Structure 1
Amino acid sequence: MSTQLKGTGVALVTPFNPDGSVDYSGLKNLIEHLIAGGVEYLVPMGTTGETATLSKEEKQKIFDFVLETNNKRVPLVAGIGGNNTVAIAEQVKNFNSEGFSAILSVSPYYNKPIQEGIYQHYKIVAENAPLPIILYNVPGRTGSNMTAETTLRLAELPNIIGIKEASGNFEQFMEIIKYKPKDFLFISGDDGLALPMISLGADGVISVVGNAFPKDFSAMIRKCLEGKFDEARLLHYKLTDIINMLFAEGSPAGVKTFLKELGICGQTVRLPLVNVSSTLETKIVNAVKNY
């Protein structure tokens, strides 16, 4: 399990038609683009997929579509998380896990639980899940940080196999990597920090920029994992301006604009998200032309 989820996972965007409905043709284009680009696995229904604005029925249809389109070519990790522990435990318990390798579950947001609350939330979710759980710490979105101590406590539970870390705190990264169980996955949740995180011992990344530029980004991650940092740095710096543009006005609005310019899918997002400004869109158009 841990081996197949090393390298580059991509947090899939959910393409929408101009009327706001799910664009399954665009989603198929995206999946083919990513697999052809050499990414190691796909992560539908994470934050990048705008799950907060999708209905239960839409999420299930997207899971089914990704599963069918992928057709066992690469591993799949399902995004299932939230801030109602009982509801999330029920969702994972009833999830049809066939064809999926793991569940990525975000730390509870908005409620701002203390560390013991985060621990108990994940303990209950893991006990009910038919698949291994990957923790997801992203304080910028959740409003609370899961500390290294809590992560290491959770790493001892039998059905928790890794963490996607997006706190930006290198002291925290290093403490987890230093003391984690050997087979516990440490995954970068920040595209721009993936190279230094792997140099410290991370196992890969779950990426946003990988939606648009899977070939170069996944090649960069593979070079890092092989210890070829001189070669990896060339690709890292080729992508840094793009990564900055991609997040300048929020995700996934930025990456969807890149995908539109690449001819993969449209740039429609659902409110309360809005499209990027015309100024940023012009920069993105030029970046794609000059890439």
Structure 2
Amino acid sequence: MTFPAPLTGVVPPVCTPLTPDREVDVPSLLRLVDHLVGGGVDALFVLGSTSEVAFLTDRQRRLVVESVVGHVGGQLPVLAGAIDMATARVLDHVESVTSAGAQAVVVTAPFYTRTHPAEIARHFRLVAAGSAVPVIAYDIPMAVHTKLPADVVLELAGEGVIAGLKDSSGDLAGFREVVAGARNRSDITGFSVLTGSELIIDAALGMGADGAVPGLANVDPHGYVRLDRLCRAGDWERARAEQERLCALFGMVRVGDPARMGGGSSALGAFKAALQLRGVIDCAVTAEPQVPLSAGEVERVGKFLAAAGLL
């Protein structure tokens, strides 16, 4: 399959179902892929934050990519995270996921060490030079502690170093700068600008974004595809109503008690609990050292599903 330029639509960051002993649950993963494809999504992104990529071993990462690519069989593009601290390690992941069949790689800025914008740009240039597939930049400062500056993103896009941006920064003004720059600069063609926010997809598409990478689309792919199509049809009133329904459903990410767990444990635990309650995956366990939801918290997830018409 030829990777689309630009990539558009709904690209869920696929959860990684685990067994009780925290190995990749391949049968559940493939049922989840069928659930997403059946929901009408436009591509799949494995090994992202919602996939718990930071918790997976290299062996598990490769198994996820091989399993999904083999199952999808070219129906949809598969993007894979090549996420690690520094350029050499990222290039190792690029080789692994592309040899397993990924059609594009998703790469953050380097992390742990402090980096200057010039070093971030050099990182992406070196990764792109070593990659046989398109590179999508992933702006997630809460995880890597560096914001990808809009001017650097546009410079790299103009050079053809990166084929797109997944923006999970929460900086809507900076996002708009990239959208406008990609639209107005003659040296940028086929560049995808994707929002990583579940909550502002109607606004992002309204300002000209190409698509979205919402973690909650694991739970309700039909809803996010419906939202995307309503926006593209210009039916903004119905799109707003659908976005607001999804915003209410997103409240499930806060079911976890903040006195005993972090936001990641709560959100990923809620997504997996919802998938288990919907009969998609067998087990809602998250990777160590994340804290599991209690029975009462899982019950609250069920109430969010029921209110959204999903149970």
TM-score above 0.5: yes
SS of 1:283's equivalent in the other structure is helix
Question: What per-residue deviation string (whole Å, max 9, x for no partner) do you get for residues 218-237 of structure 1?
Answer: 11012212322212112111
Q: Distance in 2 between matches of 1:197 and 1:112?
A: 30
Q: Does residue 221 in structure 1 map to residue 232 in structure 2? A: no
Q: Distance in 2 between matches of 1:64 and 1:178?
A: 36
Q: Which moved more, 1:97-106 or 1:161-170?
A: 97-106
Q: CA deviation at 1:11?
A: 0.5
Q: Does residue 82 in structure 1 map to residue 84 in structure 2? A: yes
Q: Distance in 2 between matches of 1:199 and 1:220?
A: 12
2:87–2:127 contact (8 Å) kept in structure 1? yes
**2:24 corresponds to:** 22
Q: Which moved more, 1:181-190 or 1:107-116?
A: 107-116
Letter in 2 for 1:239: L
Question: What per-residue deviation string (whole Å, max 9, x for no partner) do you get for residues 262-286 of structure 1?
Answer: 1111210011212234453222111
Q: CA RMSD in A?
A: 1.8
Question: What per-residue deviation string (whole Å, max 9, x for no partner) do you get for residues 154-211 of structure 1?
Answer: 1122241110011111210111111122421100011112211111111001120110
Counterparts in 2 of 1:45 and 1:175: CA distance versus 1, 3 Å: same
1:97–1:131 contact (8 Å) kept in structure 2? no
Q: Does residue 256 in structure 1 map to residue 272 in structure 2? A: yes
Q: Which residues of 2 match residues 82-161 of structure 1 at below 5 A?
A: 82-93=84-95, 95-97=97-99, 99-161=101-163
Letter in 1 for 2:82: I
**1:274 corresponds to:** 291
> Structure 1 stretches (4+) deviating beyond 6 angstroms?
none
Q: CA deviation at 1:259?
A: 0.7
Q: Which moved more, 1:27-36 or 1:252-261?
A: 252-261
Q: CA deviation at 1:2?
A: 3.9
Q: Distance in 2 between matches of 1:227 and 1:2?
A: 23
Q: Distance in 2 between matches of 1:99 and 1:86?
A: 20
> Is there any run of 5+ residues in structure 2 with no aligned partner, and where?
183-187, 256-262
Q: Distance in 1 between matches of 2:110 and 2:293?
A: 28
Identify the match of residue 10 of structure 1 among 9, 12, 16: 12
2:78–2:104 contact (8 Å) kept in structure 1? yes
Q: CA deviation at 1:6?
A: 0.4
* TM-score w.r.t. length of structure 2: 0.88
Q: Distance in 1 between matches of 2:62 and 2:93?
A: 11
SS of 1:77's equivalent in the other structure is strand
